């Protein structure tokens, strides 16, 4: 799907920001070729708790 998007649009970057504790989502992104760019510390509030998020990206020229 990402290859189709890159080949048919001007988009050069696709990113995702899963919760840091959601290891299943992180694994899916990594298996799909996304690179971990870093951790967004204290980036969201879920159920009253401040949590970290991960930043993943896939670039067109990678």
pLDDT digits 0-9 by tens, 6-58 = 999 999 999 999 999 999 999 999 999 999 999 999 999 999 999 999 999 99
Task: Report the Cα–Cα distance between both ends of the chain, in Å, rounded.
Answer: 15
Task: Give the span between the Cα atoms of 23 and 27, in whole angstroms.
Answer: 6
Q: What is the pLDDT of residue 55?
A: 98
- The CATH number of the domain where 54 resides is what? 3.40.630.30
Which pTM was predicted? 0.88
Task: Give the span between the Cα atoms of 35 and 50, in whole angstroms.
Answer: 24
Count the domains in the chain: 1
For residues 1 and 33, the answer to whether their CB atoms sit within 8 Å is no
Domain span at residue 24 reads 2-59
């Amino acid at each position: 799907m990402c290859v189709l998007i890159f080949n048919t649009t001007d988009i050069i970057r696709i990113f995702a920001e899963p919760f840091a504790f959601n290891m299943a989502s992180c694994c899916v992104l990594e298996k799909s070729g996304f690179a971990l760019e870093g951790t967004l510390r204290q980036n969201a509030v879920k159920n009253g708790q401040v949590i970290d998020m991960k930043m993943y990206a896939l670039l067109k020229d990678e």
